[in-house]
Amino acid sequence: MTDNLAKLLLRRSASGPAPILAGRDAAFLGPAFERLLAKGILTELPPASSWPPCAGCCCGFGERLIVEIGGQLVAQCPDDANADTVLDAADLRSFAIDADRLVAVLTAGTGWPDPPERLGASVWRLGDLAEGRAVVLVLDALALQPSVLLPILRAAPPPPSTTLVVPPGAAADARRPFLDMRYHLVGLLEALHPTDLALRREQLAPIGTKAAALSAGDILLTINPLGLAAEFGGVPLVLRARDFDVLAVIAREAADGRALARQDDLLQALAGGEDGADPVATEQLEKSISRIRDALCSAAGLPRAQGRKLIVNLSRRGYRLAVPPIRVVFS
């Protein structure tokens, strides 16, 4: 199975309690798609007979009927023929994703003797690691809320002995409460096998418990969100409180396998969270990033010029941590 197919399937599965794969997406998936059908992970739904309203529709007609006009499938606007949408046969197809079967396939090669146990809507206990750590998968981003997930997790061992495998697209604000409660979080895509629809069990334990987790040349960045403390290469970082918050957001994105910490999230962290009294300008964020880079270089004994290679600026989008050589662990 291709990397793109596995990630597409998991992203669609994270979109809600009744995930759907669109026929237009499925049209390009080839033999791997047929295997998903054969395993029952995908089930074809009845063909669509209607189509969503036009973009910016103000006529109030709602769903448009799909009709055949001149040999073409058309989502017909009852008010304006110029707003008709021409479709193809793939547009009419859609496939329900069976989340339980998908999770069973994800864990098939992990060596756990028992099948995944569904703890609640979009939440499964996958098994335990050697040190007794429970591994819990949250497939839907809507379930990654303390009010939803914490009652479910009461059946699992208490933190810090639980790894939460979190869905693609989980925002930094959604992950933060669980990190603060000492859960270990792993991004689902980060734990995914590079060429197969399968989890890599070795990716599910905190770095400190993995054998040979650091390669030669790697530098460990340790973040303690409760104590507002961080170390780089074993050396404490001297940071302002708001700079620590910015670094913590960047580190969380890297730890969860996401390439980018969005600029909006970083500006919010620098302002003191959602309740920050005053807006923060991008120039202030740039100065904060500069101070963090200097602190990292100072701790690692690197020239200041190397700072731009440790935290990389993606123009107008945000920043990302250089992973590798930096490895992140939350303590």
252 and 297, same domain (yes or no): yes
User: Which of the listed residues 172, 203, 234 is the one where a domain comes to its end?
Assistant: 203
Question: Could you write out the DSSP letters of every residue in 187-238?
Answer: ETTTTB-TTSS-B-GGGSS-GGGSTT-SPTT-EEEEEETTTTEEEETTEE--
Q: Look at residue 163 and tell me if it is in a domain.
A: yes
Between CA 313 and CA 299 the distance in angstroms is: 21
pLDDT of residue 212: 38
Q: Look at residue 83 and tell me if it is in a domain.
A: yes
User: Which of the listed residues 65, 92, 119 is the one where a domain comes to its end?
Assistant: 92
Q: Look at residue 15 and tell me if it is in a domain.
A: no
Range of the domain at 307: 214-330
Q: Look at residue 50 and tell me if it is in a domain.
A: yes
122 and 74, same domain (yes or no): no
Q: What is the pTM of this model?
A: 0.60
pLDDT of residue 284: 93
- Please identify every stretch of the chain with a pLDDT value under 50, giving residue numbers as ranges: 1-3, 209-214, 275-276
152 and 71, same domain (yes or no): no
152 and 174, same domain (yes or no): yes
User: Which of the listed residues 38, 68, 92 is the one where a domain comes to its end?
Assistant: 92
Residue pair 22/96 in contact (Cβ under 8 Å)? The answer is no
Q: How far is CA 284 from CA 127, 219, 243, 258, 263, in A?
A: 45, 27, 11, 24, 12
Closest CA to 24 of 72, 73, 93: 93
Q: Look at residue 18 and tell me if it is in a domain.
A: no
- Exposed, middle or buried, 96 (CB in 10 Å: 0-12/13-18/19+)? middle
Q: Look at residue 57 and tell me if it is in a domain.
A: yes
pLDDT of residue 315: 79
Tally of domains in the chain: 3
pLDDT one-digit tens code per residue, 127-138 = 988 777 889 999
Q: Find the CATH number of the domain harbouring 298.
A: 1.10.10.10
pLDDT of residue 116: 94
